Amino acid sequence: MASLSTKVKLYCEANSKVADFSRGTGNVALQNDSDEKGDYIANWSVDGLTKPTDSQLASYDTAGNTVEKNNTVRATRKAAYGDIGDQLDLLYKDIVANKLDTTGEWAKKIKAVKDANAKE
């Protein structure tokens, strides 16, 4: 199940608004009272947009799951790509070897990372 913050972000984006969760200055405050009821919207002040109902938020669950999974994939890819300096070194070596195509070491590495960490 997608997190409440992800569903709120999607709801706002679908209505051309931005959810700002910054403590003290944001337009949305989420809270969890540790009462096993989970997170809820404690404060809503998104200009020109009414606070979403539970059913409106539930409608973003599938899309929210996709967003969260893809965010995890992006973070995994970023770590697997390695240091940008190392990537540039691979590119330089491929340029010198005249391999700026799919046979180059950089392209092979990037493809392997993407294949191992596919997005939805």
Q: What is the pLDDT of residues 3-35, one digit of tens each?
A: 999 999 999 999 999 999 999 899 999 999 999
Amino acid at the residue 36: E
Give the model's confidence band at 120: pLDDT under 50 very low, under 70 low, under 90 confident, else very high.
Answer: confident
- Rounded to an integer, what distance in angstroms lies between the CA atom of residue 94 and that of residue 105? 7
Quick check: 101 and 107 in contact, CB under 8 A?
yes
Interval 38-86: pLDDT, tens: 999 999 999 999 999 999 999 999 999 999 999 999 999 999 999 999 9
pLDDT of residue 24: 86
